[in-house]
Chain A
Amino acid sequence: MVSALVEMKNIHKWFGSVHALKGVDFYVNPSEIVGLVGDNGAGKSTLIKILTGVIPADKGEIYFNGKKISFSSPREARDNGIETIYQEQALADDLSVTRNMFLGKEIQKSIGPIKLLDHKKMKKESERILSELGLKIPSMDQEVRFCSGGEREGIAIARAMYFKAKLVILDEPTRALGVAAVRRVLSLVKELKSRGIASVFISHNLHHVYSIADRIVVLVRGEKVEDIPKKETSIRELTKLIIRR
């Protein structure tokens, strides 16, 4: 058996008197696509926030690449190769595609002792990776606000790929997208897999999750009620699980 890329063991979280996560075990294998589904308030986001260092767990252990870790900030998680893509937070609207792609990891050129941005190279690299992924954005200088929802999701995914993330967490990546855009995003997630990058796909939409996930994890009111390879289940069964309790 392959050793897991990420393993979370017996995770508990209380918000006041609310027991939001009740001893959840969760793991992701290298280059696996895990669908994380559940109703509102099931604990999906809480689990992910704990993994990426946004909030701490009250109990439980997390292993990344076999090493015990506890990230204290999203930045630390990112430095270790875990990239989280939240729809609203992923990109800065007023910045160009290129500036967003390289935000925080800008390419520079030296002019004597002074380091300036290498706009040309960053633009070229952005163009290369986006066209590799089949994203046709008219201009790399275009402000991201003028990009469609699917394009924005694509830019964020491309960025994760370019900087060699090991695990990409996608929080509702298909929400508010049209049919064509959803298809594009789903194919990008598959592209992540083909490059050996694992991903966690969080969604309300079982059809979207079911179409690409290797394995599906169902949370209901803070408990893991199912953890099953996709082949062994169906959308109908999953739906029952989510809504029955």
Chain B
Amino acid sequence: MIIPARIKRIPSKILSYRSFSVSVILVGMIIGFWAITPEHKFISSPVIDIFLTVSPMITIVTIAMALLLISGEFDLSVGSIYALASAIVAILYTNHGVNPVIAVIIALTLAGVLGGFINGIVVTKLRISSLIATLATMWIYRGATLLITEEGREIPYYPGKMFPTFEKFFCGKILGGLPVQFLWLIVIAILLWILLEHTKFGNWIFATGSNKESARMMGINTDRVKIICFILVGFLAAFAGIIQTTRIHIAAPWTAQTMNLEAIAGAVVGGTLLTGGVGSILGAVLGAFSLRVLSLGLVMMGLSPYVYMVATGVLLILAVAFNELVRRWMSHR
């Protein structure tokens, strides 16, 4: 009989999932907030609607960041790329009347692909650690954003007036109210999951982050792996920025200044290791969700946004400690 044996293995299988601890944390928080918010309002359709509307952008950036962290690098410039991409689409469309589809393609290429490519080249070819390299490009890309927006002025962006379908493509509603950006999140998460777990490139990402020398010995071009991961992160940060700008009808040059750290925090809460070689897409999604749920829950309780900062820090420490505990328990089994 195959089934009983399989069932027997379930407990250890569940524990061995990288995203086990973050699942517990997320479910725990949801139940907790449900229990303590007045009239259990935490689980009500307006709150769920807010969550589905605002969480996809940061979550998309978080899963891309997780991929890069697994390869052993990280990217502090994601928030700048996010702002730069939204500034480019708004300037091209609003100030120069460029067709929005073309504006989006240009923004994705310049801010996303080129921005990520530069990060990758600086890290791998100039051999500058990604902390310093992307700290530098964080300022460069943000500076560029402020320069092209004329001292950081906000630029209106309302393509929906003339191109309603175009706007819906990024942030409309489908299937009776599901925000399109949430669908984008699901699609991107599935694609990245397939890439990471089911292609040889994914295997190379893990190996590059886990042991660069042994990956090289096995003939893997670890520099190329890292550059491609940087490009993916840049591209997805730009894409998330464009969704946000399309949704709020404005490009804000100063936006997303702490997005880099939030994305890293989300990935780490989801079980990704900063040292590389370990992590999962599902974990990163749940990690990003945890931070969003925490912030929404505290708002629902009428607490100040500063409490959110404190709570995020506490959550980060607890989540990492919990992850470590599960890992250790697994290894002593």
Contacts and interface: CB of A to CB of B under 8 A. Distances in A.
A232 B140 CA distance: 70
A103 B215 contact: yes
Given A116-B199, A117-B203, A95 B277 contact: yes
A88 to B, nearest CB: 8
B301 to A, nearest CB: 39
B219 A95 contact: no
Given A103-B203, A117-B200, A92 B219 contact: no
B197 to A, nearest CB: 8
A89 B199 contact: no
Given A74-B216, A103-B207, A94 B199 contact: no
Contacts of A20: none
Contacts of A79: 219
A103 B211 CA distance: 12
A93 B219 contact: no
Contacts of B199: 115-117
Contacts of A115: 199-200
B216 A75 contact: yes
A74 B220 CA distance: 11
A42 interface: no
Contacts of B198: 116-117, 119
Given A117-B200, A145-B331, A92 B217 contact: no
Contacts of A103: 203-204, 207, 214-215, 218, 220
B129 to A, nearest CB: 21
A86 B217 CA distance: 10
A162 interface: no
B85 to A, nearest CB: 28
Nearest to A159: B218
A89 B219 contact: no
A78 B211 contact: no
A74 B213 CA distance: 11
A36 interface: no
Interface string B178-220: 0000000000000000100011101110110111011111111
On chain A, which size bracket covers the interface?
20 to 34
B217 A78 contact: yes
Interface string B260-278: 0000000000000000011
A95 B217 contact: no
Interface in A56-102: 74-75, 78-79, 84, 86, 88-95, 99, 102
A3 interface: no
Nearest to B276: A94
B200 A89 contact: no
A106 interface: yes
Contact of B210 (A74, A86, A95, A116): A95
A45 interface: no
B15 to A, nearest CB: 13
B219 A104 contact: yes
A95 B207 CA distance: 7
Interface in A27-71: none
A108 B220 CA distance: 16
Nearest to B70: A94
A204 to B, nearest CB: 22
A74 B222 CA distance: 14
Given A89-B211, A103-B207, A116-B198, A94 B277 contact: yes
Interface in B233-270: none
B206 A94 contact: yes
A146 interface: yes
B214 A78 contact: no
A32 to B, nearest CB: 24
B279 to A, nearest CB: 9
Nearest to A54: B217
Given A116-B194, A145-B331, A94 B210 contact: yes
Contacts of A102: 203
Nearest to A102: B203
A171 B318 CA distance: 42
Nearest first, the 3 A-B pairs at minimum CB distance are A104-B218, A94-B277, A92-B210
24 contacts: A75-B216, A78-B218, A89-B211, A89-B213, A89-B214, A90-B214, A92-B211, A93-B277, A94-B210, A95-B206, A95-B277, A99-B203, A99-B206, A103-B203, A104-B204, A104-B215, A104-B218, A104-B220, A106-B200, A115-B199, A116-B194, A116-B198, A117-B203, A146-B331
Given A78-B217, A103-B220, 12 more contacts: A89-B213, A92-B277, A94-B206, A95-B207, A99-B207, A103-B218, A104-B215, A115-B199, A117-B198, A117-B199, A117-B203, A145-B331
Interface of A: 74-75, 78-79, 84, 86, 88-95, 99, 102-106, 108, 115-117, 119, 145-146
Interface of B: 194, 198-200, 202-204, 206-207, 209-211, 213-220, 277-278, 331
